[in-house]
Amino acid sequence: MQARSSNSKLVDSILEACGHGKLLECGGGTGMLLPEFVSRGVDASIVVPPGTELQHIHSAYPARCLEGSSLKLPFLDEQFETVVSIGSLDTLAKEDIPAALREIYRVSSRYAFLRVSTAQTQIADQMRAQRDWWETRCFEAGFRKHPLFYQVNPYESLNTDGEDILIVLEKAPRAALQTYDLMVLVEERLLHTDMLRETGRRSDAHCIRYHKAAEYIRPGDRVLDVACGLGYGSHILYNASKARSVMGIDLSEFSVNYANAHYSDGEAVRFEVGDAQYLSQVPDNSIDFITAFETIEHVPDPDIYLGELKRVLKPSGRLMVCAPNNWVDETGKDPNPYHLHIYTWERLIDECGSQFLLEKGFFQTAGGAMRYHHSPRSWVEVVPEKVREQDGEWVLLLCMADPIDGMPIPYEETAWSLPDSLDFHVSAFARGYENPWIVRSMVAIGMRAQSETLLSSMRQRVLAASNKTSADFGAAFCGQIYALMRENSTTDACFQEVRNTVLQYAAIEAPTPQQLRWQVSLLFAGGELAKNKGNVQVARDFYSRCAALDVMPYSPLLGNKTLDALYWLTVMAVADRDLKTAKAHLERSIGEATRLVSASWLNIIGVPEKPLPFGFPEVSQLMDKAARAAYMLDLLGTCESKPGLFYRESLGFFERQLGSAAVRKSELEASVSALAQQAIDTEARAQNLGQKVVELDAHAQELARNLARAQNALSFYAVRGIRFVSHRISNLITKKKS
C-alpha cells in the first residue's frame, strides 16, 4: 500500500507538470507506473530492456508494453508528448548517458521527466551521482528546465538531495538551439544567461523568484517583465500562473532575439527591446503585474524608474521588485561594475514605499557567493518594515499601486468574461461601486492584499472617503467587522457603534444589487460578532434580518449567507426548546435552496460558454448547506433525547468529509510528533549509552593500566626477591665451604 501511495504521488507530480498528453515510460524493470497512468486516462506505453520480467503488466496491457534499448528507442521522432524515465538511466555506463538523453529528446515532442538514483551501487564515479552532473548532461542534450521545475523541486529541498533526484525538463526548440547553443550562453554569462539552461544555486535563486511572483498574479493579468534578460522568467510567469499575457522588455537586442527564439508564444508571451527607465511603448495604466528583478541597481535614476513602473501599472496592480542586499566588498563598494547603486533593505523600503503600498517583504539567500557563502538556499517572508531580524543576499518587496488614488481611472474587468446583460450583477463591479478598483485590492478573496496591516489601512481610507450608502462603504465596513472578530477584543461601546452602523446600512431603501450584497453580508457579519460576544438576542435579530432579505436581485450565490443565518437561528431555537420554530427555519432552508438554484443561472455562472470559475463551487456550498438542513430536519424530533447525535448530524456532507480529513490530519501530525519525540529520546538514550560506553572503556583502560603497573611491580619485586635469595644461598654455601 505504501508503494502504491508513493507511485501515486509521483504520477501526480508528473501529470501536474506535464499534463495528460501521450506518454512513454522508460522503465527500469518494474513497470509500476503504467497502471497508474492508464487509470488517470493517460495514453501511456512502457518500453523496457530486453529480457525484463513484466508478465503481470504485459498480460494486462499487451499493446502498451514493448522491449527496446534506451540507446535506440523503437519510436518515431516526437511520437510522445512526454517521456518519463524511472530508473532506466541508472544502469547505463556513464559514456552512454548522453546518447540515451538524446534519444529521449528525439522521441519526446515537449517534456521529459527523469528520476535518477544517487544510491546505485553501479555508479563508481561519484560525480555522476550529483544533480549538477545530471542536469548539465540534460542541457547538452537539448533540454532546459521545465517552467514548473520548482513545483516538483521546492527551493529549500535542493539544499540536500535524497536517494532519488527528480529532473523535470522541457525541449528547447531545435531552431533556437541551432542559433543559440550552450556556448553562446558561456560567452554572454557575465551579463546575462538563460537560467533554465544552467544548473546550481545561481540558477535556482533567479528562477524561484519568478515562481514566487507567479503566486500573486491574478487570473487574466497582463504581466510586464522589466529587464527580462533572455526571457526564461517570462516563460515561468506565464506557465506558472493564470496570466493572460506576458511581455518582456530588455535593453539588449541580443537578449530579446534570444528570448523570442526560445520563449515567445504569439501574443501570449512576447519580447521587445526597450529601456526599463523609459517604458515608452507601454501605455498608462495598462499592466496588472510587474516583475522587476535586479534592475533598480542598474538604472541611472531609480526614482524615474519607479515612477515609470507606477505609470504603467493599473490601480491595485502589483509589482515585485528585487535588489542585491548591500553587496559591497572590504572597500565598501559594489565590485560589480554594472551596478550603479548599492541597495539595502531600508533603502528599498524608502524608495518603493514613496510610490507604492507595501504588501509583503522577502529575504532570499542562495549561498556560494560573496555574501553568505556557506548558507543554504532560503526564502523567508517578512513584514515590510525597517525593523527586522532577518537578512539575506537579496531583498524583495511585493508592492501595490494605490487603488484609492486610482479612482478616476476607468475600470476594466480582466479576470472574467462578463455577460452584456444589465441583469447581470454578481461581478459587474464597474456598475456597482464608486471605485471598483478596491474589489481586487481589498474585497475579493484570492485577489485582495494578503497583508492585514495593508487591508486595515485601505478599509479606513475607504470608510473615510466614500458615501456611507455606497457599496464601497459596505465592503470596507464588512471587512472591518471580521477584523474585529479576529482580534477578539471588541468593547461594548465599539460593538454598539458597529450595531448602529450595520442597521443604518441595512435600512437603505430600494438598494442596488451591490448594496443588497453588502446589506446581507453586514447583517450576517453583525450576527457573527454578536454571537461571538455571547449576545444571543442581538445575534438572533441580525440573523433574522439577514434571512428576511431576498438575495435573488444580486445573485443566488449570496444565499449561502441566508442558509448560514437560518442555521444559527435553528441552533438558537433548539437551545430554547422551541422545536416548532427550529422546524420552520429548516424547512425555509430547504425551500430557499431549491428556489435559488431553480431560477436563472445568469448571476451564478454568467456566460455558459465561459462560466465564472467561482459559480459552481459556491453553488455546491449552497447545496451542502441545504444537505445540513435536511440532516437536522430528519433528526429534529429526537434532538432532546439524542442531543449528541443531533449535534453530529448538523453538518453538511462535504463539511463532514473535510472534518474527518482534518481529524485524520491532526492524528497523523500527532503520530509524527510522537515518533519524532521518540526518535529524539532514542537518540538521547543512545548518546547517553555511548557516553557510558566511553566512560566504561576509559575505566577499563585505567584498570588495565593499573593491572599492568601491578604486574610490573610484582615482577620487579619477584626478581629482586629471587636475586636476594640466590645471593643468600650463595653466601651460605661460601661460608659452609670455608
For residue 698, tell me if it sits in a domain: yes
The rounded distance, in Å, linking the Cα atoms of 113 and 564 is: 47
Q: Kindly report the backbone phi and psi dihedral angles of residue 475, in degrees, each rounded to the nearest multiple of 5, phi listed first.
A: -65, -45
**Where does a domain end: 615, 633, 665?**
615
The rounded distance, in Å, linking the Cα atoms of 360 and 599 is: 43
For residue 224, tell me if it sits in a domain: yes
pLDDT at 32 over 90: no
pLDDT of residue 719: 65
Q: Kindly report the backbone phi and psi dihedral angles of residue 631, in degrees, each rounded to the nearest multiple of 5, phi listed first.
A: -60, -45
pLDDT digits (tens, 9 = 90+) for 703-720: 888 888 877 777 776 667
Is the same domain home to 435 and 539? yes
Residue with cell 599492568: 708
Q: How far is CA 340 from CA 289, 298, 302, 330, 516, in A?
A: 25, 5, 10, 18, 55
Is the same domain home to 167 and 206? no
User: Which H or E element spans position 195?
Assistant: none
Query: Which residues, listed in sequence order, are joined to residue 378 by a DSSP beta bridge?
Result: 365
pLDDT digits (tens, 9 = 90+) for 46-59: 998 877 766 667 77
For residue 654, tell me if it sits in a domain: no
pLDDT at 618 over 70: yes
The rounded distance, in Å, linking the Cα atoms of 237 and 196 is: 13
The CATH number that applies at residue 230 is: 3.40.50.150
Is the same domain home to 594 and 515? yes
Query: Which residues, listed in sequence order, are joined to residue 225 by a DSSP beta bridge?
Result: 248, 291
Q: How far is CA 260 from CA 263, 266, 272, in A?
A: 6, 10, 9
For residue 178, tell me if it sits in a domain: no
Task: Cell numbers for 306, please give them.
Answer: 519607479
Mean pLDDT, range 74-98, rounded to an integer: 93
Is the same domain home to 272 and 138? no
The rounded distance, in Å, linking the Cα atoms of 122 and 138 is: 20
pLDDT at 656 over 90: no
The rounded distance, in Å, linking the Cα atoms of 444 and 416 is: 13
> Crossing angle, helix 302-312 and helix 345-353, to 10 degrees?
50
Residue with cell 490601480: 315
Q: Kindly report the backbone phi and psi dihedral angles of residue 624, in degrees, each rounded to the nearest multiple of 5, phi listed first.
A: -65, -35
Is the same domain home to 447 and 589? yes
For residue 46, tell me if it sits in a domain: yes
Is the same domain home to 118 and 16? yes
pLDDT at 686 over 90: no
Nearest Cα to 73, choosing from 58, 62, 89? 89
Across the chain, what does the average pLDDT equal? Answer: 90
For residue 353, tell me if it sits in a domain: yes
Is the same domain home to 684 and 608? no
Q: What is the DSSP string of 55-77?
A: HHHHHH-GGGEEE-BTTB-SS-T
The CATH number that applies at residue 467 is: 1.25.40
Is the same domain home to 445 and 379? no
pLDDT digits (tens, 9 = 90+) for 380-423: 999 999 988 888 999 999 999 999 999 999 999 999 999 999 99
Q: Kindly report the backbone phi and psi dihedral angles of residue 37, in degrees, each rounded to the nearest multiple of 5, phi listed first.
A: -60, -45
Residue 195 backbone class (left: φ over 0; alpha: ψ -120 to 50; beta: rest): alpha
Is the same domain home to 599 and 451? yes
Determine the residue type at 330.
E
The rounded distance, in Å, linking the Cα atoms of 54 and 675 is: 38
pLDDT digits (tens, 9 = 90+) for 496-528: 999 999 999 999 999 999 999 999 999 999 999
For residue 528, tell me if it sits in a domain: yes
Band of residue 29 on the pLDDT scale cut at 50, 70, 90 = low
Is 223 within 8 Å of 243 (Cβ atoms)? yes
For residue 71, tell me if it sits in a domain: yes
Is the same domain home to 163 and 250? no
pLDDT of residue 181: 85
Residue with cell 539588449: 252
Task: Cell numbers for 654, please give them.
Answer: 462535504
Task: Cell numbers for 19, please give them.
Answer: 499534463
pLDDT digits (tens, 9 = 90+) for 542-567: 999 999 999 999 999 999 999 999 99
Mean pLDDT, range 184-208, rounded to an integer: 86
User: Which H or E element spans position 248?
Assistant: strand 245-250
Nearest Cα to 229, choosing from 189, 267, 202? 189
Is the same domain home to 343 and 490? no
pLDDT digits (tens, 9 = 90+) for 105-142: 999 999 999 999 877 544 445 556 789 999 999 999 99
Q: How many domains does the chain have?
A: 4
The rounded distance, in Å, linking the Cα atoms of 92 and 688 is: 45
**Where does a domain end: 400, 420, 442?**
400
The rounded distance, in Å, linking the Cα atoms of 3 and 24 is: 21
pLDDT digits (tens, 9 = 90+) for 337-367: 778 788 999 999 999 999 999 999 999 999 8
Structural domain span for residue 76:
2-171
pLDDT of residue 328: 67
Q: How far is CA 721 from CA 299, 598, 713, 718, 725, in A?
A: 98, 119, 12, 5, 6
Q: What percent of the chain has pLDDT over 70?
A: 93
Mean pLDDT, range 595-604, rounded to an integer: 95
pTM: 0.88
Is the same domain home to 574 and 449? yes
Residue 111, CA atoms < 13 Å, CB-side half-sphere: 23
- 80-86 and 313-324: which strand pairing? unpaired
**Where does a domain end: 591, 615, 639?**
615
pLDDT digits (tens, 9 = 90+) for 663-676: 777 777 788 878 87
Which has more confidence, 18 or 341?
18
